[in-house]
Amino acid sequence: PAYNIISTIKGSENEKIIITAHYDHLGLSKSGIYYGADDNASGVAAMLELARVFKENGIQKQLVFIAFSCEEIGLLGSKYFVDNPPFQLNDVVAVVNLDMVGRLRKKELTINGSKSNELRNIISGISQNDFVINFDSPDQEQSDHASFSKKGVPAIHLFTNVHPEYH
């Protein structure tokens, strides 16, 4: 059995922002080293820290935090969620997926997904002096944000790129 783990922080508005990460990984390598620290313990850690900060500071929109299972074997957790949502997906204004965000040392961030120009414009205006932001293909389907995009929900995937310890 596999499980998605969901938590919410209620806001004063009905609109929702979903923040996601996946907590599964591929397992042990031949050397016995478990290379899941970036893919995707970094995403889960970032998601938990965001939940802590938002809980302490309050919000207007409702935040939904989801740790998905089975991303590594075909986005099964997120596909299940969007096919069986516990609330109307049309209440979701954005999904921010954190997958492999642990290598921000170079201050370079790649953003995959979302055909939504509004999301891209918001992101383009944030911290341009501090970070290099690369927009990748809006059709990129290698992480859980893709399950939402296929249902018409604006969704992005934050990513600090592949490296030698990837998987």
Listing DSSP states for 122-134 in one string gives: HHHTSSTTT-EEE
Q: Work out the number of other CB atoms within 10 angstroms of the CB of residue 4.
A: 19
β-strand pairing of 155-159 with 108-112: antiparallel
Q: Give the predicted TM-score (pTM) of the model.
A: 0.86
pLDDT, position 35: 58
The DSSP letter of residue 19 is E
Q: Work out the number of other CB atoms within 10 angstroms of the CB of residue 27.
A: 10
pLDDT, position 105: 73
pLDDT, position 46: 93
pLDDT, position 23: 85
pLDDT, position 125: 66
The stretches in the chain having pLDDT less than 70 are 26-36, 114-118, 120, 122, 124-129, 137-140, 165-167
Q: What are phi and psi of 85, to 5 degrees?
A: -70, 145
Q: Which two tokens stand for residue 80?
A: 């299940």
Strand intervals (E) in the chain: 5-9, 16-22, 62-68, 92-98, 108-112, 132-135, 155-159
